[in-house]
A and B are shown apart, each in its own frame.
Chain A
Amino acid sequence: MNPLLDLSGVTVTVPSAEGPRRLLDGIDLSLAPGEALGLVGESGSGKSMTMRAVTRLLPRGAAVSGAVRYDGAEVLAMDAGALRRYRDHEVGLVFQDPRAHINPTRRIGAFLVEALVRNRGVGKREALARAAAVLAEVGIDDPQRRLRQYPHEVSGGMLQRVMIASVLLAEPRLILADEPTTALDVTIQREVVTILDRLRRERGMGMVFITHDLDLALAVCGRVAVMYAGRIVEVRTAAGLHERAAHPYTLGLLGSRPSIDARSARLEAVPGRPIAAYEAGAGCAFAPRCLFAMEACDRTAPPLRAFDDGLVRCSRVEEIHAARTEATA
């Protein structure tokens, strides 16, 4: 099956006072139609920038190289009209903070129907009727009243459902969800994720789910890509990640999660602090924090290569794997 979304060698550089800064460094990623992929990493690892590259919503002055192919079409080469059609019809973005990402001065109804009315010439009444129907689908009571309310009059959880509804209204084939639950209360998070997951499945939409919460990604997505310093360091099916995680960084992430079963006295933290792509040297970006790093790791950057049914970016993955297997045996 042809991929719905295919990124190869996507590199993004933004200007700064100290010269150009690389934020993404050769991202290779592929998503099948209807597939859900989790993009996991710490803040500054380039998750959101990847999403921005996919929709070409990059900061001013940013330079992109590589290829972003959507259903065979090169997104980076689209003209203004094609880009607008692509953003309108094909991809829907769910942002982290609905309060900031929905215009506070306009009614929820106006926000929901804006794209339909302006881009597709749907009549206002017809558009509002569709909006009300979708609000009901995302579990909002009394949609007619909500349409007339302003964003500041509803809760954050409801506003995030409004955001999801706005994406569903456009009937895209791909959803990019950028930490859609991070700004919400824990109890609301579950509801929102459940709604997103159900509607995505019902409609057969592909989804890239960006989160720093590895467990959440594993619960929602079939496959997970782990990012570090603007690079993808490991890609694996959600089912296989627990057993087969091979990259030292992924292992560190797995070890640093609190567990309900084991009451361990301390959580294992990954030593050091995360770095951005432009801070990485010539070698492996994770080497300075890696417990297994050798001198060679600082000199040459390893490629992303197949290992044990997944993709891993580590020169010593075989040795590490062997040592771990030996230790557990």
Chain B
Amino acid sequence: MARLLLHRLGGLVTTLLLSSVVIFGSLYLAPGSPENVLFGNRTPSAAARAAVRHRLHLDQPLPVRYWDWLTGVLHGDLGTSMVTGQPVADRVGSGLGTTALLVLFASLLVVVLGLGLGLLGAVRPGRLDGAVSAVSAVSVSVPPFVAATVLISVFAVRLGWLPASGRGNGLDGLVLPAVALALLSCGFLAQVTRNAVGEQLGREHVQTALARGLPRAAVLRSHVLRNALPPIVTAIGLLVAGMFASTLVVESAFALPGIGQLTIQSVAQKDFPVVQAVALLLVAAFVICNALSDLVQALIDPRLRTAGRTA
């Protein structure tokens, strides 16, 4: 188990390093240059342009800039925004709380509703299962940007129950965005859960447990659900990671001051240090979600614990 943990940790660091190279490189190789954003419509003199490029370290070769940036990041310095001149850490930090809360909220919805509906469908075949299948089939076909539009028009504009944009009071402003974010994932998780639990219900070892006179609830808990967890955990890991990416759309739709909105703005303004930081953050969220789901699976299924040795 410890070996697996180390193995995963090593993979995590490698992935982050590699993706930081890709992010850094792709931003600077893309057409357009940051100083043009600063100059706007004016055409600067060659000297002024050179001075600005020097101040932004744009006159140095790419590997050198990457190295400077990487050592800065490792020392906790994410650089300075080219647009506002604020430290990147401050800009990212102010949005991080909102985004983290939003994804947490949406994840809770996904786990509770998706898992609940899927379980219900699996253990109560017939009409209830049909209803669950129908609901989840509809919800997986509603992407977050559609859900956001519909939710805003119904609950914010027509009914006026919840704010259409901004944080609002307390969690008010997060309810609709979280639902918009969660809807597709809920349906997906319900389907995964229903199939995984349904498959386990038909397993021979479940029959053994029933043949030994164990109560149905105990059999469901310690045999069916426990063994059905690996695919469910994988799905949750992927879905939560995906929701971090979807915040780009949802936060823009609801004008939420989070990382997603910051990403869109910074890309539009070519504010490279900020884009680098948030992109790296998104990658980290992905990698961490996946690593966590792998570890949970190894905890559940002893047969997976040797993975680090054979891989």
Contact = CB atoms under 8 A, between A and B. Distances in A.
B301 A115 contact: no
Interface string B208-252: 111111110010001100110000000000000000000000000
A87 to B, nearest CB: 4
Nearest to A104: B303
A97 B204 contact: yes
User: In this complex, which of B212, B223, B302 has the most chain A Cβ atoms within 10 angstroms of its Cβ?
Assistant: B212
Given A100-B203, A103-B223, A115 B213 contact: yes
B212 A150 contact: no
A88 interface: yes
A114 B205 CA distance: 13
A152 B303 contact: yes
B215 A84 contact: yes
Given A95-B204, A105-B227, A88 B302 contact: no
Contact of A102 (B205, B215, B226, B302): B205
Q: Interface on chain B toward A: helix, strand, loop, or mixed SS?
A: helix
B94 interface: no
Given A60-B125, A115-B214, A118-B215, A103 B209 contact: yes
B207 interface: yes
Contacts of A60: 125
B62 to A, nearest CB: 49
Interface string B181-215: 00000000000000000000001110111111111
A86 interface: yes
A120 to B, nearest CB: 10
B300 interface: yes
A103 B211 CA distance: 13
Given A88-B212, A119-B213, A170-B212, A101 B302 contact: no
Contacts of B302: 104-105, 150, 152
Contact of B213 (A88, A102, A103): A88
A315 interface: no
A118 B303 contact: no
A105 B300 contact: yes
A84 B216 CA distance: 10
Interface string A163-174: 000100010000
Interface in B113-137: 125
B99 to A, nearest CB: 35
A118 B301 CA distance: 22
A274 to B, nearest CB: 23
Given A101-B204, A104-B205, A118-B218, A86 B213 contact: yes
A57 B212 contact: no
Contacts of B205: 100-104
Contacts of A104: 205, 227, 301-303
A85 interface: yes
A102 B208 contact: yes
Contacts of A89: 213
User: In this complex, which of A93, A103, A118 has the most chain B Cβ atoms within 10 angstroms of its Cβ?
Assistant: A103
A105 B226 contact: yes
A55 interface: yes
Contacts of A100: 203-205
A228 B6 CA distance: 58
A119 B223 CA distance: 16
Given A115-B213, A115-B214, A93 B208 contact: yes
A87 B213 contact: yes
Interface string A59-91: 010000000000000000000000111111101
A91 to B, nearest CB: 8
Given A103-B227, A104-B303, A105-B301, A119 B214 contact: yes
Contact of B208 (A85, A95, A119, A152): A95
A88 B213 CA distance: 5
A87 B208 contact: no
Contacts of B223: 103
A102 B208 CA distance: 7
A150 B305 CA distance: 12
A3 B215 CA distance: 28
A57 B204 contact: no
Interface string A98-118: 001111111000000011001
Nearest to A153: B302
Nearest to B214: A118
Given A60-B125, A118-B218, A152-B303, A101 B213 contact: no
Interface in A229-282: none
B201 to A, nearest CB: 9
Nearest to B304: A105
Nearest to A60: B125
Interface string A153-197: 000000000000010001000000000000000000000000000
A83 B210 CA distance: 10
Interface of A: 55, 57, 60, 83-89, 91, 93, 95, 97, 100-106, 114-115, 118-119, 150, 152, 166, 170
18 contacts: A57-B211, A84-B213, A87-B210, A87-B212, A88-B212, A88-B213, A89-B213, A93-B208, A93-B211, A100-B203, A100-B204, A100-B205, A101-B205, A101-B207, A105-B302, A106-B226, A150-B303, A166-B212
Give the 4 A-B CB pairs with smallest separation, nearest first.
Answer: A88-B213, A87-B213, A100-B204, A84-B213
Given A97-B204, A150-B303, 11 more contacts: A84-B213, A87-B213, A89-B213, A93-B208, A93-B211, A100-B204, A104-B301, A104-B303, A118-B218, A152-B303, A166-B212
